[in-house]
Chains A and B, each alone.
Chain A
Amino acid sequence: MIKSVEDYLDVLKTELNGSDAATIQDALADAEEHLRAALASLREKQPEMSEEEALNQVIEQYGSPDETASAYKEVERRTLPSLAREISNQQDSAFKRFLSVYEDPKAWGALLYMLISLVTGIVYFTWVVTGLSLSLSLAIFIFGLLFAVFFIVSLRGLALLEGRIVEGLLGVRMPRRSLFFQNGTTWFDRLKTNLTDKRVWLTLVYFFLQMPLGVIYFTLIVTLFSLSIALMAAPLVQSITDFPIISIGIMRYYLPSWATPLFLLVGFLIWTLTLHLGRLIGQLHGKYAKMFLVTD
């Protein structure tokens, strides 16, 4: 029997078991927003109604947890993240599959993500380090608590943003709305509930690690990209400028003309492998982001 909004959310969570974690988070947030608003307005109109009666009436209109859960599952089934399309290339040859990475938006998205992650990583890192150290050092003042709450709220916003970037570029379903602030009464209560919240700490760790990861991703992509472009362009540059392209020690050598196709091929291979590598890292990073930024 459902006696409170929390009960409803618990049952709804159980009903949605097995669905995508991000869907569950959205569904719980929607239900909480609606039920609390509906309850408040009903009790204002009919103050004599008992809490339980009011809740039952509200749930009757909103739908039982299993009805609500099935509505989300139904819509979720029809709307996949924008890049999550099924490519059936089981029968294709290994060569074709190797090249098909060029038409896979996930591979390009992952490369773009790896480039951007240097910038976002630095921003997250700076924000987290500044916020944490200010929260700690201001904690001796009353307004230090206010600042800490403000910092935690900002983390939620940033986490949602990172989630949107991850979904957009890596094609992994992430939450479409931010988590609720726990409904503490005072600022101090809010701070307490948030400090004991596992997700806040996981988000912090994620943002902290995002800078080293961003640096690694960026360096990796830029290095591999330059290497493949340099290999492909070397024979061309030599034929135009007539300048010996290989230098070992102080000696410079001309690239023999038979090596031109070889250089082109190796450069192309490295670039194709980079795309494959990007796609793989994108998948792994998507899973990792989900583990740290989505409630389970």
Chain B
Amino acid sequence: MVDSSILTRKFQKEMNAGIASLVLLSVLHKSTEPMYGYQIAKLLEEYSGDTSFMKQGALYPVLHSLQNSGLLESKVEPSVSGPPRRYYEITSEGRETLITWQGVWKQMKSFVDRAIKGG
């Protein structure tokens, strides 16, 4: 018998893989100015309340991969305290993609809800 908490964590991780991209794009779409990693993590913490859905460290590789696909842009700026910060901003391609992804998410959500309820 496999520990159920391990299974739950695995399930969570697999689900997060795609959702993280959608969430990050949405956050940067809403934001009026470029944001850096820690700022984004703080904002997501507010949204998630007491439960933590994913480790903040896991956001960064997703940010890199979104930038690599041309959906985000970034620039490094020095900070008053500590190391320089990388600020991320959504591109116009990112905004277009987000609209499609939101559609996919809506369909997926209603599909999963119906599957759980059973008709």
Complexed CA–CA distance, A33 and B82 (Å): 7
Q: Is the CB of A33 within 8 A of B83?
A: yes
- In the assembled complex, the CB of A135 is this many whole angstroms from the nearest CB of chain B, namely 21
Interface string of B42-71 (1 = CB under 8 A from A): 100100000010011110111011011100
Q: Is the CB of B86 within 8 A of A36?
A: no
Complexed CA–CA distance, A61 and B45 (Å): 9
Interface string of A64-88 (1 = CB under 8 A from B): 0001100110111011001000000
Q: Is the CB of A177 within 8 A of B57?
A: no
Given known pairs A79-B65, A176-B64, A176-B68, the reply for A40 and B81 (CB within 8 Å) is yes
Could you say which of B52, B58, B76, B83 contacts A36, with CB atoms under 8 Å apart? B83
Could you say which of A34, A78, A177 contacts B56, with CB atoms under 8 Å apart? A34
Binds A, one of B22-30, B33-41, B92-100: B33-41
Size of the chain B interface, CB-CB below 8 angstroms: 29
Q: Is the CB of B37 within 8 A of A34?
A: yes
Main secondary structure of the interface of A (DSSP, over half): helix
- Does A180 lie at the interface of the complex (its beta carbon under 8 Å from any beta carbon of B)? yes
Q: Which residues of B contact A31 (CB under 8 A)?
A: 57, 60
Q: Is the CB of A178 within 8 A of B55?
A: no
Interface string of A27-39 (1 = CB under 8 A from B): 1011111101110
Q: Is the CB of A67 within 8 A of B45?
A: no
- Does B84 lie at the interface of the complex (its beta carbon under 8 Å from any beta carbon of A)? yes
Q: Which residues of A contact B85 (CB under 8 A)?
A: 33, 37
- Does B108 lie at the interface of the complex (its beta carbon under 8 Å from any beta carbon of A)? no
User: Which residue of chain B has its CB nearest to the CB of A167?
Assistant: B68
Q: Is the CB of A177 within 8 A of B86?
A: yes
Q: Is the CB of A33 within 8 A of B68?
A: no
Complexed CA–CA distance, A41 and B81 (Å): 11
Q: Is the CB of A32 within 8 A of B83?
A: yes
Q: Which residues of B contact A98 (CB under 8 A)?
A: none
Q: Is the CB of A34 within 8 A of B60?
A: yes
Q: Which residues of B contact A187 (CB under 8 A)?
A: none
- Does A26 lie at the interface of the complex (its beta carbon under 8 Å from any beta carbon of B)? yes
- In the assembled complex, the CB of B116 is this many whole angstroms from the nearest CB of chain A, namely 27
Q: Is the CB of A30 within 8 A of B60?
A: yes
Q: Which residues of A contact B79 (CB under 8 A)?
A: 37
- In the assembled complex, the CB of A48 is this many whole angstroms from the nearest CB of chain B, namely 20
Q: Which residues of B contact A26 (CB under 8 A)?
A: 60, 64
- Does A183 lie at the interface of the complex (its beta carbon under 8 Å from any beta carbon of B)? yes
Interface string of A51-73 (1 = CB under 8 A from B): 00000000001110001100110
Q: Is the CB of A37 within 8 A of B55?
A: no
Interface of A with B (CB < 8 Å)?
A: 26-27, 29-34, 36-38, 40-41, 61-63, 67-68, 71-72, 74-76, 78-79, 82, 176-178, 180-181, 183
Going nearest first, the 7 A-B pairs with the smallest beta carbon separation are: A63-B55, A63-B57, A75-B61, A68-B57, A71-B58, A36-B82, A30-B60
